[in-house]
C-alpha cells in the first residue's frame, strides 16, 4: 500500500459478521512537534506531520504572539520535521509563564486564559442555512486524509461560494491553527469568513475563531457550554450537528436570518 501523506501502512483483521480477513490498510500518523520562538521553546504539541510551519505560525497568531506575517523574519522546520524555529523581527519575545492544558485531542495548549476579554465582533455578516450545508458537504469532500484512513479532524475556511483553505490534523485545534497559518502565508483575509470543523467546538476553538474575526463557526458535532457562553458575548454564530440536510444554531442565529436581529 502507498499510504496518503500523514498516514502509515498498517495491517489489521477485518471482522464483518461471521467472516474475518487480514487486510492491508493504514492508520493516521501522529508526532511531537516542538515550536521555538527566537531560540526559546514555546510549546510541544501532538500533531499530524503536515503543514508544520503553518501550524506554528497559526498557533502564534491565534495566541496573540504575532498580529501579522511581517513580524516573522523566518519560519523553518528541521530535516526530520520535529522542530519548527520561528524568528521574529523583534528581539523582545518572552515565553509566557502560564499555559493552559485544553480539552483538545492530543492535549493541546493555549497561552490565553479563556475569558470574555475580547470585545463583541463588530460585523453585520449574514448568510443562509443552505450555504452552511453546502460548505459542510465541501468539507467532507476535502477531507483527503480522513477519507483514506479516518482518525483525523478537518477544518476549512470558506466564503459564500467555495472553500478557500483546508487543513487536517489529529487535533481539531491544530487544524484551526493550520488554517490561520495558511491564511497568513497566503495573504487571505479571514474576517467575515466561515470556519467549519469536523470536531467539537470547544472554548479554545471559539477563541481562535474570534481572533481571526470569523463570525460563524459550524461543526458536524456539538459545541460546549463554555463555547456557547463565549459566542454569546462575542456575537459569533455557533452551529452544530450540520448533517443530513439540517443543523442546530445555538447563538446569534440572526446571522442565519433566524430569530431577532443583532443586539
Q: Which position among 47, 105, 122, 237 bears the catalytic label?
A: 105
Q: Do residues 165 and 182 lie in contact, with contact meaning Cβ atoms separated by under 8 Å?
A: yes
Q: Tell me which DSSP letter residue 252 carries.
A: -
Q: Look at residue 165 and give its three-state secondary structure.
A: strand
Secondary structure element (H or E) that encloses residue 174, with its range: helix 172-186
- Joined together, the cell numbers standing for residue 51 give 503543514
Q: How far apart are CA 120 and CA 102, in angstroms?
A: 23
Whole-number Å distance between alpha carbons of 234 and 199:
21
End-to-end CA distance of the chain: 55
47 is catalytic: no
d(CA 125, CA 11): 48
Q: Give catalytic residue positions.
A: 105
Amino acid at each position: 500500500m502507498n499510504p496518503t501523506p500523514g498516514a502509515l501502512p498498517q495491517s489489521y483483521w477485518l471482522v464483518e459478521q461471521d467472516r474475518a480477513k487480514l487486510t492491508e490498510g493504514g492508520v493516521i500518523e501522529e508526532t511531537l512537534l516542538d515550536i521555538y520562538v527566537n531560540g526559546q521553546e514555546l510549546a510541544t504539541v501532538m500533531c499530524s506531520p503536515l503543514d508544520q510551519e503553518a501550524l506554528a505560525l497559526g498557533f502564534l497568531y491565534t495566541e496573540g504572539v504575532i498580529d501579522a506575517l511581517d513580524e516573522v523574519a523566518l519560519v523553518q522546520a528541521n530535516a526530520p520535521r520535529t522542530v519548527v524555529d520561528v524568528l521574529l523581527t523583534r528581539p523582545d519575545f518572552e515565553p509566557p509563564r502560564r499555559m493552559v492544558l485544553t480539552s483538545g485531542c492530543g492535549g493541546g495548549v493555549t497561552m490565553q486564559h479563556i475569558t470574555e476579554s475580547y470585545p463583541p465582533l463588530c460585523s453585520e455578516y449574514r448568510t443562509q442555512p443552505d450555504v452552511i450545508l453546502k460548505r459542510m458537504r465541501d468539507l467532507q469532500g476535502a477531507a483527503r486524509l480522513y477519507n483514506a484512513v479516518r482518525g483525523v479532524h478537518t477544518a476549512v475556511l470558506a466564503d459564500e461560494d467555495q472553500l478557500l483553505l483546508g487543513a487536517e490534523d489529529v487535533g481539531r485545534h491544530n487544524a484551526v491553527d493550520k488554517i490561520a497559518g495558511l491564511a497568513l502565508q497566503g495573504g487571505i483575509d479571514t474576517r467575515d469568513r466561515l470556519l467549519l470543523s469536523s470536531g467539537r467546538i470547544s472554548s479554545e476553538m471559539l477563541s481562535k475563531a474570534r481572533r481571526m474575526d470569523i463570525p460563524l463557526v459550524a461543526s458536524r458535532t456539538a459545541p460546549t457550554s463554555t463555547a456557547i457562553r463565549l459566542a454569546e458575548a462575542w456575537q459569533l454564530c455557533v452551529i452544530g450537528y450540520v448533517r443530513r440536510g439540517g443543523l442546530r444554531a445555538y447563538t446569534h442565529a440572526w446571522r442565519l436570518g433566524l430569530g431577532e436581529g443583532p443586539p
